[in-house]
Amino acid sequence: MLKLLQLLEEDCTLTDSQLAAMADLSVEEVAQQRKALEEDRVILGYKAIVDWDRTQREAVTALIEVRVTPQRGEGFDRVAQRIYQYDEVESVYLMSGAYDLTVIISGRTLKEVAQFVGEKLATIEDVTGTATHFILKKYKEKHLIFERQEPQERELIFV
Amino acid sequence: MNYQTILNKRIQAVKPSGIRKFFDILEEMNDAISLGIGEPDFVTPWHIRDAGIYSLEKGYTKYTGNAGLMDLRREIANYLARRFDLHYDPKGEIVVTVGGSEALNLALSCLLEAGEEVIIPTPSFVCYGPLTEMAGGVPVYLQLKAENQFRLTAQELKSAITPKTKALVLPFPCNPTGGVMERADLEAIAAVLEGTDIMVISDEIYAELTYGQKHVSIANLPGMRERTILVNGFSKSHAMTGWRMGYTCGPQPVIKQMLKLHQFGIMSAPTTSQYAAIEALKNGDGDIEKMRAEYDGRRRYLVDGLNRLGLHCFEPKGAFYAFPDLRSTGMSSDDFCEQFLRTQRVAIIPGTAFGPGGEGFARVCYATAMKDIAEALVRLERFLDAIK
């Protein structure tokens, strides 16, 4: 199971037969384990990592520090839930330290993001403060480097 | 000027590698998939590169001692003890060289008198024969057999020994076959060598890349350390080919002579690379594990695919090569590989490039991205269908 997860986390485009050979399992075993992992929501989904800056589409991402008042019996979960329901919200993490939640949101323009924070996020009951940081440039995400790496110039040698 | 009479005849007699023609075709194709180059596709781990950069920032740009930085030799000694239970004194038994290749050259040059023989099991990496010839020796090629998974047997070794035999090259884990020698195999070889004056040059550059079992060095066997010149380096284990970092270990009287040759021919191995190598040994064991696991996945996939397509391939337990048997296609290795390259644009290396015994096989390197291996297998299937 762990081996399968490691392989998929690295590259989810691997086919079941590739995974089978690599993890020393049969194709049926891979299909079975994968199905179980998906059903148990150990695997939440499979997504491409996109560099929107290379396209015509405008996109801004912001990281928002959110301070909230935890609720009796529910802690931070209920307010986190109210935040993550919004489609604009990409990720929500509970943090240790100076603030409580990290919320990552993406929108088409700065204005769109600012509006979301001002009108939706900051007005949620129990949210006591926000600090919005716009992401200026992405260098690396999920172990992938955004900048194209120029290959070393080379002449083939026989080794 | 008639250079033929001017230039050394021994050197002139050495034939250049026949594989050049093949690479010329490959270099002109920019969309070809290459499973041809025997080199890790990983970039050297950042902390190692960083150590090299840091040494430059600190201004460490001078020569080092001839044998290499003492710190590095100490780390090499610790590493060999930790990983392979090999014990060498950093003072007098270790020399840091410009890649494993220089170490091989030092070993052969220091051992050979004119006309003395070196037993070279083949198929194997191409440098042993030419280096032997250039040092005035005579290569005695010993063809390993596919049915033995390209291991060297005691019987084969016995049959190749003559009164002129000076050394045996032991190239395991093996490029190009992926074959390994397990302890029992080595014990049989050691029994043949015992009581002779034959030296072993053990090229263990792929020692870290074994799958399912740990590499055993012949120097680890009783009575063998005194007759073994160990050659190793950082190229394959730490993806550091371009840094040119190797080393050799052996009994003090042998190393003493090798150091002279290194001292006058090279001075010292590159200083920046030596600082990077210290970092590789201090904090790089995890990198090795990670790369090995990655290679292992690709290895399983490739070998499985080759066998599925009917190109029989024994399980290669070392290095990063598979060595499938092409004989069922009725084609020669050269024809197969050239046509495969020309029609399907995938480069693999004909077994004949690795000396006698390679005919009928090809080397497929899996130090390549998984998607390339997958695509190469698709094209191989297409090729096999077309030549049926």
Give the CATH number, domain containing residue B324.
3.90.1150.10
Lowest mean pLDDT among A67-71, B71-75, B283-287: A67-71
Same domain assignment for residues B68 and B95: yes
- Cα(B366)–Cα(B320) distance, rounded to whole angstroms? 6
- What are the residues facing B233 on neighbouring strands? B246
Q: Domain boundary residue among B265, B284, B303?
A: B284
Asked whether residue B139 carries a pLDDT value surpassing 90, the answer given is yes
The distance from CA B368 to its chain's CA centroid, rounded to whole angstroms, is: 18
Asked whether residue B134 falls in the same domain as residue B279, the answer is yes
pLDDT of residue B17: 76
Do residue B125 and residue A156 have CB atoms under 8 angstroms apart? Answer: no
Contact A156 B36 (CB under 8 A): yes
Give the residue-averaged pLDDT of B214-243: 98
Q: Which residues of B touch A13 (CB under 8 A)?
A: 371
Whether B38 sits inside 8 A of A159 (CB atoms) is yes
Nearest CB to A159; choose among B39, B300, B374? B39
Instruction: Please give the Cα distance from B201 to B170 (Å, whole number).
Output: 6
pLDDT single digits (tens) A101-115: 999 999 999 999 999
Which domain, by its residues, includes B321?
Answer: 3-44+286-387
Nearest CA in chain A to B23: A156
CB-CB under 8 Å, B23 with A159:
no
What pLDDT score was predicted for residue B15?
A: 86
Give the predicted TM-score (pTM) of the model.
Answer: 0.92
Same domain, B125 and B217: yes
Question: Which two tokens mark A23?
Answer: 């993890």
Chain B nearest C-alpha distance from A85 (Å) = 37
pLDDT band for position B30 (50/70/90)? Answer: confident
Residue of chain A whose alpha carbon sits nearest to that of B236: A159
Closest CA to A24 of B293, B181, B287: B293
Among candidate residues B235, B239, B216, B213, the one with its CA nearest the CA of residue B291: B239
B276 and B350 co-located in one domain: no
Rg over CA atoms, chain B = 21
Last residue of a domain, one of B258, B284, B310: B284
Verify that B366 and B273 share a domain, yes or no: no
* Residue at token pair 């410009």: B98
CA B158 remoteness from chain centre: 24
Q: What is the pLDDT of residue B24?
A: 85
Nearest-5° angle of CA B359, CA B361, CA B366?
145
User: pLDDT tens digits for A6-61?
Assistant: 999 999 999 999 999 999 999 999 999 999 999 999 999 999 999 999 999 988 99
Q: CA nearest B241 in A: which residue?
A: A159
**What kind and span of H or E run contains A145?**
strand A144-145
How many Å separate Cα B114 from the centre of its chain?
A: 25
Do B211 and B354 lie in a common domain? no
Nearest to A14 among B20, B38, B370 (CB): B370
For the stretch B255-272, pLDDT in tens is 999 999 999 999 999 999
Of the partner residues A22, A156, A159, the one whose CB lies closest to the CB of residue B26? A156
Residue with tokens 């210290």: B278
Check whether residue B241 and residue B210 sit in a common domain.
yes
* Same domain for B170 and B53: yes
Name the minimum distance, in Å, from the CA of A17 to any CA of chain B.
9
Whether residues B158 and B261 fall in one domain: yes
Counting the structural domains of chain B, the total is: 2
- Are B142 and B201 contained in the same domain? yes
Task: Inform me whether the pLDDT recorded for B22 exceeds 90.
Answer: no
Tell me what the pLDDT averaged over chain B comes to: 96
Q: Does B152 share its domain with B7?
A: no
Q: What is the largest CA-CA distance in chain A?
A: 69
The domain spanning residue B234 has which CATH number?
3.40.640.10
* Of residues B27, B37, B297, nearest to A159 (C-beta): B37
When pLDDT is averaged across residues B278-305 and rounded to a whole number, the result is: 97
Query: H helices of chain B, where?
Result: 3-6, 9-13, 20-28, 46-57, 70-84, 99-111, 128-134, 154-160, 183-193, 252-265, 271-283, 285-308, 333-344, 370-387
Is A24 close to B300, i.e. CB distance below 8 A? yes
User: Which residues of chain A have a Cβ shorter than 8 Å from any chain B Cβ?
Assistant: 7, 11, 13-15, 18, 21-24, 152, 155-159
Task: Please name the residue of chain B whose CA is at the shortest distance from the CA of residue A157.
Answer: B37
Please list every residue in chain A whose beta carbon sits closer than 8 Å to the beta carbon of residue B17: 158
| Same-domain check for residues B79 and B183 | yes
Judging contacts by C-beta atoms under 8 Å, the chain B residues touching residue A4 are: none
pLDDT of residue A153: 77
Supply B47's token pair: 């902390």
Sort residue B260 into left (φ over 0), alpha (ψ -120 to 50) or beta: alpha
Place of tokens 């990077």: B276
Cβ-count burial of A84 within 10 angstroms (0-12 exposed, 13-18 middle, 19+ buried)?
Answer: middle
- Contact at CB, B27 and A14, closer than 8 angstroms: no
ipTM score of complex:
0.81
- Chain A residues inside the 8 Å CB shell of B123: none
Domain boundary among B221, B254, B284: B284
